[in-house]
Amino acid sequence: MQKHLLDKKDIERIIARISSEILERTKDSSRLIVIGIRKRGDFLAERIAHKLEFMDGQKVETAAIDITFYRDDVQLKAYKYILKEEINFEITDKNVVLVDDVISTGRTIRAAVDALIDSGRPRSIQLAVLIDRGGRELPIQPDYSGKKMQTDFNNEVVVKLLEIDGEDEVLISWK
């Protein structure tokens, strides 16, 4: 069984709101970088960067990172060379907005922060997510979230994005 949570217009409004909030909190947008966590956070990061550029008139650097080898359930740690290819600009002394589609336990975000720190020393790292479904196992909270909801681990939050799935929507399903 599935329930519809967000449609295309909802997602567009969330991107606009998060972008506006980022600009309100950012003192110097020339130091701003938006980095998305693959597989859907990277597309959301691109959308946020485009909205920021439209609102502020300044180019915003973007990148995508794959945190697979940074996960705490993966033993292989031969990963540092991967990041040099993914983030091809300097992040040291920059304000990074890390973007993901869904946050739950916080473990993916912890892995992403580890990956960022391995590639430089950002001035700050903020977190933006489309859906905050609760269920933290680590003390990690988003700075910007589109929709907050408490879900059961029997639920699956399904984010569909135009770039991958051909449509924008968010569903919740019960197993």
Task: Average the pLDDT over 119-148 and give the result.
Answer: 95
Please count the CA atoms within 13 angstroms of the CA of 49 that sit on its side-chain side: 23
Q: What percent of the chain has pLDDT over 90?
A: 70
Q: What are phi and psi of 155, to 5 degrees?
A: -90, 150
Are 121 and 2 in contact by the 8 Å Cβ rule? The answer is no
What is the three-class DSSP state of 79? Answer: coil
Q: What percent of the chain has pLDDT over 70?
A: 91
Are 94 and 33 in contact by the 8 Å Cβ rule? The answer is yes
Domains and CATH numbers, the chain: 7-154 (3.40.50.2020)
pLDDT of residue 140: 96
User: 44: which residues sit within 8 A by CB, 6+ positions away?
Assistant: 15, 36, 99, 100, 101, 128, 130, 161
Q: Show the 3-state SS of 65-77.
A: ECCHHHCCCCCCC
**Which tens digit of pLDDT belongs to each residue from 75-93?**
555 554 444 556 778 899 9
Burial of 115 (0-12, 13-18, 19+ CB in 10 A): buried
What is the three-class DSSP state of 78? Answer: coil
**Which tens digit of pLDDT belongs to each residue from 111-122?**
999 889 888 899
